[in-house]
Amino acid sequence: MSSTAWTDHRPEGTTVDAIVIGGGAAGLNGALMLARSRRSVVVVDSGDPRNAPADGVRGLLGLDGIAPAELLHHGREEVGRYGGQVLTGEVVSAAPAAPTPDGDLRFVVGLADGRVLHARRLLVATGLRDVLPDIPGLAAHWGHGVVHCPYCHGWEVRDEAIGVLGVGPMSIHQIWLFRQLTDDLVFFSGGTDLDDDTRTRLAVRGVTVVDTPVARVESDDRGITGVRLADGLLVPRRVLAVTTTMQARTDGLEGLDLPVEDLPNGMGRHVASGMAGTTQVPGVWVAGNATELHAQVGASAAAGGLAGSHINAHLAAADTAAALHLAGRSARRAS
Ligand SMILES: Cc1cc2nc3c(=O)[nH]c(=O)nc-3n(C[C@H](O)[C@H](O)[C@H](O)COP(=O)(O)OP(=O)(O)OC[C@H]3O[C@@H](n4cnc5c(N)ncnc54)[C@H](O)[C@@H]3O)c2cc1C
């Protein structure tokens, strides 16, 4: 049942123990756990991780500052060391297939290039998409002059002239975190409802509030120069912090019928999961930003590893059930 001698480098036509959809930190660590457990595992990755625009991965113990692409390169090598395969491609369909006579689950996964793969279990580790507010000039600076996460970029922008663009209740939370990093902070309220108490708190922390609507972000060849307001005034800024709407990436996975939930305060939507990344869909696990929108690289990798080990345990139980089924059949034939 389990493909312990997994050396076939053409997974089409065979049923592998697990397919991992998405090869970022979560997917690769899940695959690493599975491959090290002598499970046949194929990672399918479309090569577009969330932090691709960033220069380095920050706050990752032992690897602080490593380039995102370099980290994933090491991860792919490590998965390959134990016989796991990483395919470049995009999953465009995934669905349960008929289970085996002994009750083991089956899935069929289609790739954009026409390849079709079969597996006993799936790990969804597709990450999320950040949707930026629709402000002219903003998107071009995403991951550099436009940042969202004080733990990812905060130290690098310390003491800069920073502006927080108000897009909802989470922007207030962001103000306090970026105020920790600079004394020069402007909040562009953007219609965010600020009560008197909040305005007082901002004032005593030295945060300037601008209520005039933002027209666009201005920049030159060195980066952001400021925020142009609707009345024509330019407020000089070098860095802008913004909260994004975080949308779990589930395109192409509709056939799995995964439970997707909206989070409060317009934060976004995620795939709901339980212990170790289990989902309501038998045989399908989810890990990383697809289910935990706020997980950083370390937390995503940890969740992928946990899901991978949980999948291995389920497969071990299924292998035993299959052996029992076979033993029962042989006994019936003999009698
Ligand atoms: C600008 C920026 C900077 C950041 N900096 C840091 C930092 O310094 N430190 C830190 O800890 N965190 C940082 N983060 C957060 C970090 O990006 C996430 O924690 C991490 O990427 C989550 O890992 P993941 O594996 O869940 O998803 P991802 O890394 O996004 O990986 C998902 C993978 O799945 C693939 N995929 C998606 N759909 C499909 C499909 N249908 N078929 C095949 N493949 C698919 C994608 O191409 C991608 O490669 C940053 C985020 C951003 C936006």
How many helices (H) and strands (E) in the chain?
6, 19
pLDDT (0 to 100) of residue 13:
76
Ligand 1: distance of its center to the CA of 300 in Å?
Answer: 9
Ligand 1: distance of its center to the CA of 50 in Å?
Answer: 3
Residue 35: partners with Cβ closer than 8 Å, 6 or more residues away: 41, 79, 81, 82, 83, 84
Is 307 strand, coil or helix?
helix
Determine the CATH number of domain 133-242. 3.50.50.60
Give the CA count within 13 Å in the CB-facing half-sphere of 9: 2
pLDDT tens for each residue of the chain, 335 residues long: 444 344 445 667 799 999 999 999 999 999 999 999 999 999 999 999 999 999 999 999 999 999 999 999 999 999 999 999 999 999 999 999 999 998 999 999 999 999 999 999 999 999 999 999 999 999 999 999 999 999 999 999 999 999 999 998 889 999 999 999 999 999 999 988 899 999 999 999 999 999 999 999 999 999 999 999 999 999 999 999 999 999 999 999 999 999 999 998 889 999 999 999 999 999 999 999 999 999 999 999 999 999 999 999 999 999 999 999 889 888 888 88
The closest residue, in CA terms, to atom 38 on ligand 1 is 126
What is the best residue among 71, 122, 126 to mutate for testing ligand 1's pocket, by most ligand atoms within 8 Å of CB?
Answer: 126
pLDDT (0 to 100) of residue 178:
98
- For the CA of 91, the closest atom of ligand 1 is 42
The closest residue, in CA terms, to atom 27 on ligand 1 is 127
Pocket of ligand 1 (CB under 6 A): 21-27, 44-51, 53-54, 57-60, 90-91, 125-127, 130, 143, 149, 152, 249, 252, 288-289, 295-298, 300
Neighbours of 143 (CB within 10 A): 17
15-129+245-334 and 133-242 in the same fold? yes
- For the CA of 290, the closest atom of ligand 1 is 26
Tokens encoding 245 = 């709407």
Distance separating the N- and C-terminal Cα atoms of the chain: 25
Q: Which of 133, 137, 136, 203 is nearest to 175 (CA)?
A: 203
Q: Where are the domains of the chain?
A: 15-129+245-334, 133-242
pLDDT (0 to 100) of residue 266:
85
- For the CA of 252, the closest atom of ligand 1 is 41
Ligand 1: distance of its center to the CA of 128 in Å?
Answer: 7
The closest residue, in CA terms, to atom 12 on ligand 1 is 296
- Residue range 15-129+245-334 in CATH 3.50.50.60: yes
- For the CA of 153, the closest atom of ligand 1 is 8
- The count of residues in the chain is 335
The closest residue, in CA terms, to atom 34 on ligand 1 is 22
- For the CA of 251, the closest atom of ligand 1 is 41
What is the best residue among 93, 293, 296 to mutate for testing ligand 1's pocket, by most ligand atoms within 8 Å of CB?
Answer: 296
Ligand 1: distance of its center to the CA of 251 in Å?
Answer: 15
Q: Identify the helix (H) or strand (E) that includes residue 213.
A: none
The closest residue, in CA terms, to atom 19 on ligand 1 is 296
- For the CA of 28, the closest atom of ligand 1 is 25
pLDDT (0 to 100) of residue 65:
97
Q: What is the pTM of this model?
A: 0.95
Ligand 1: distance of its center to the CA of 138 in Å?
Answer: 20
Tell me the per-residue pLDDT of 99-131, one tens digit each, with 9 for 90 and over. Answer: 999 899 999 999 999 999 999 999 999 999 999
